[in-house]
Chain A
């Protein structure tokens, strides 16, 4: 049980995030008076943690790829693959939830906003990682090429998600110049909302790590089974 403390923490945080996120009283001015967010402001507790979770998972994947290049073990390669997979899943969920939210605040599912486009390209770059992996049959070669590509992908992902959308005008909060929703910019976030948001980020990240480790353990089992057959 002692090894599973973080899984319990994950469950507790997610339940807290979900319950408190739906029940907390929203700031009257930012949610209702100066924006068209209304109750949809609660999406902040669920949509944004997807991206934080993706960022954490892809960073873990990057670390395993670098570790692989230093030390060629199957464990490093499989970990890099599975963490990237869960990270991309979180990114897709972030994109879809963002589109639903955008429909009811910006008026369209997709407005070719820099943030949307950047996030979509970032996800596509990671799709290419999986395509590349699966196109090489030799295991050592696959692991090495994939590790190098993963490092390359990560350093394209960072500017696409964090830097480029901030340098241009964007409907998304955090853009340059006029912001679509003034509500969610750093200072106007109420302490009560922060107290729900950050535990939520940790909870969703832990869930992503949990799923990645499960998939990693299945891969190891598959490898062992193949060795037994051979």
Chain B
């Protein structure tokens, strides 16, 4: 699980760095295309993935407790 979070973190950092690199270039390329809708997409998917990971962790925690009791 920790590895997964780490991978996601690195991926997000890479995305951020890439976005920095794009600055000053074509304003309609990459995540900036289509009126920056892809930025909204990135935000919404990040929230959704975050919540889902939270639920998965909760599920595992409860499974562990069930085995103990």
Contact = CB atoms under 8 A, between A and B. Distances in A.
Interface stretch (A17-25, A28-36, A138-146, A165-173): A17-25
Contact of B45 (A19, A210, A217): A19
Given A14-B52, A23-B37, A224 B44 contact: no
Given A23-B37, A210-B55, A211-B55, A15 B62 contact: no
Interface residues of B, number: 16
Contact of B65 (A19, A207, A221): A221
A217 B66 contact: yes
Interface residues of A, number: 18
Given A18-B44, A23-B41, A11 B66 contact: no
A128 interface: no
A14 B45 CA distance: 9
Nearest to B69: A224
Contacts of A7: 56, 59
A82 to B, nearest CB: 13
A18 B48 CA distance: 8
A125 B59 CA distance: 30
22 contacts: A7-B56, A14-B48, A15-B45, A15-B48, A15-B49, A18-B41, A18-B48, A19-B45, A22-B37, A22-B41, A22-B44, A23-B41, A210-B59, A211-B55, A214-B55, A214-B58, A217-B66, A221-B62, A221-B65, A221-B66, A221-B69, A224-B69
Interface of A: 7, 11, 14-15, 18-19, 22-23, 207, 210-211, 214, 217-218, 221, 224-225, 228
